[in-house]
A and B are shown apart, each in its own frame.
Chain A
């Protein structure tokens, strides 16, 4: 029991953050590259999960806001040579504004219609990105988006030793860390708890006088804004913004990440993003049949682990604990408590 207490007292999130922060100093450019990709995908997936897991809205067009963030940031930095410190907030605001407009219509619909309308909106954004040559670069996109000006880092010890990609990773990690912290606070706030209530029983929520649509819209906007931040970072990381960013299969991809990790847990989507990114890197080096692999993973997931990796693990731990207790003495119902605990973590 004592060890358990110790383990629960360690601020794991901080530990993970610090470990992640050290990556660029370990010398492998490739690991830094992977870590940047995981951090950004993780943020994107967590933002989707605010809709999927927390509020119970199946958005099949979340990639639209990711794309808008990427384009706003990319256009400002490349075409107008604006600094990152302006382009990033602009990207978040732009994506949040678009989600306000589109979300206004989406939240009026239920279930499958919601999914279809969010898909239609994301395809509209794709069509605009694909066609509006003068601004978005059309089908050729905007290659060569510059890195932010990080020269100030060069005078700082340790940071100065890094290449620009490493320095950008540090920036990414800080932005992602702050965004995740903010989202965690939102989810644990009364507002966030109300979203969960709506997911579990929207009718009851509206019966007690909650404006369900307004709450759903607010969640949509918050999720869209954070997706925009992820998109902005990804555009710089990928050294360009392209219309593929907003094409609908990308929405399916981030959805798979989220489900893979587990939608019932805050950190689930991050775990899912990391797993998928690593798996993709490994698989594509050996085979061109990545889609087949992904489809098979998805099937296994749906049938064997509908709770995702984190859901499966926590259920496994709960089972183990129950078993150990069951051997020691009669069942006391603490297993229930244990699952709840894990769930909250």
Chain B
């Protein structure tokens, strides 16, 4: 019995990891799916979300303690930055080789990383949990911190909202059409430019939001951008580059593989994760849940 509840605890741990990663990777996957741009700077947007949330908490603290306001501010600010990046820089790279798009987003990684260092220094920072989400609940004999539950729900909510928008709204139809054939959509009179800007802003918003939401349970340190982007890539590749649901399932698999992997192999190493990524790319390059393209 205790054994079973232990396994359940481990499962919950994996679920938390998964939903974290989904929050981050969903935006990366969206942009790739529609714009065919692999955005290295997604991790940098995530990092900026974290720093901005911390900053907003500091600004607000004399008046009120509102983590939520801070998180919203951070996500919006990053979304605006994302919009600027798309309009001023990325726009000029569409239709060029992937190499140039990759390098453009990598240039942003370099610049934003140093900018964050110049603004916030190199000290480790952190934000306290909002009081409502402090503590933990018991569930079938396992302890689940309320904040983890919140992250799970947030991840699930984003998955559902994202799916609804993509599948039910007219904007979603345009997005899906753009993913299939950009020129055709443009020829039909749709404003592809605005669509792309909106898309990139939504993706940046998700990155900023996830960065802000992790601050209560993670430290904010220089280099967190590079750390996270590789994991997000792995998740997106497992699920299928550009597939929204694929990313969701990819996150779940990654979380559980990690969570139970450390029970079987105590030093569950980086090696296995990259090996998994390579195997999937070899066997099913479009991922476990994606569709082959072209």
Q: Which A residues are within 8 Å of any B CB, using their own CB?
A: 52, 58, 60, 105, 108-109, 111-113, 115-117, 119-121, 123-124, 126-128, 130-131, 248-249, 252, 255-256, 259, 289, 291-292, 294-296, 298-299, 302-303, 306
Contacts and interface: CB of A to CB of B under 8 A. Distances in A.
Contact of A299 (B104, B275, B278): B104
15 contacts: A52-B99, A116-B38, A116-B277, A117-B281, A117-B282, A117-B285, A120-B278, A124-B275, A255-B103, A259-B103, A292-B110, A292-B115, A295-B107, A302-B93, A306-B100
A302 B101 CA distance: 9
B104 A302 contact: yes
Contact of B270 (A108, A116, A130): A130
B201 interface: no
Given A58-B97, A120-B281, A295-B108, 13 more contacts: A52-B99, A58-B98, A113-B281, A113-B285, A115-B98, A115-B102, A116-B38, A123-B277, A126-B270, A255-B99, A296-B107, A299-B89, A302-B100
Given A123-B230, A124-B274, A295-B108, A289 B114 contact: yes
Contacts of A296: 107, 111
Contact of A120 (B89, B98, B109, B274): B274
B233 A116 contact: yes
Given A124-B275, A130-B270, A292-B110, A248 B281 contact: no
A3 B98 CA distance: 42
Contacts of B102: 58, 60, 115
B110 A298 contact: yes
B120 interface: no
**Considering the complex of A and B, which 4 residue pairs feature the smallest CB-CB distances, nearest first?**
A295-B110, A292-B114, A295-B111, A298-B107
A127 B275 CA distance: 10
B165 to A, nearest CB: 25
Contacts of B92: 303
A127 B110 contact: no
Contact of A109 (B103, B117, B285): B285
Interface in B252-270: 269-270
B114 A291 contact: yes
B226 interface: yes
Main secondary structure of the interface of B (DSSP, over half): helix
Main secondary structure of the interface of A (DSSP, over half): helix
Interface in B73-118: 89, 92-93, 96-100, 102-104, 106-111, 113-115, 117-118
B182 interface: no
A309 to B, nearest CB: 15
A197 B92 CA distance: 27
Interface residues of B, number: 39
Interface string B213-244: 00000000000001000100100010001000
Nearest to A252: B106
B282 A105 contact: yes
Contacts of A130: 270
Contact of A291 (B100, B110, B237, B271): B110
Contacts of B36: 112
Nearest to A102: B278
Nearest to A303: B92
Contacts of A117: 278, 281-282, 285
A148 B261 CA distance: 44
Contacts of B97: 58
Contacts of B93: 302
Nearest to A57: B99
Contacts of A126: 270
Contacts of B274: 120, 123-124, 127
B99 A128 contact: no
Contacts of B106: 252, 295, 298
A211 to B, nearest CB: 20
Residue of B96, B102, B118, B278 contacting most chain A CB atoms (<10 Å): B278
A133 to B, nearest CB: 12
Interface string B13-48: 000000000000000000000001010000000000
Given A58-B97, A111-B98, A120-B278, A131 B107 contact: no
A248 B227 CA distance: 11
A256 B102 CA distance: 11
B107 A299 contact: yes
A208 B108 CA distance: 42
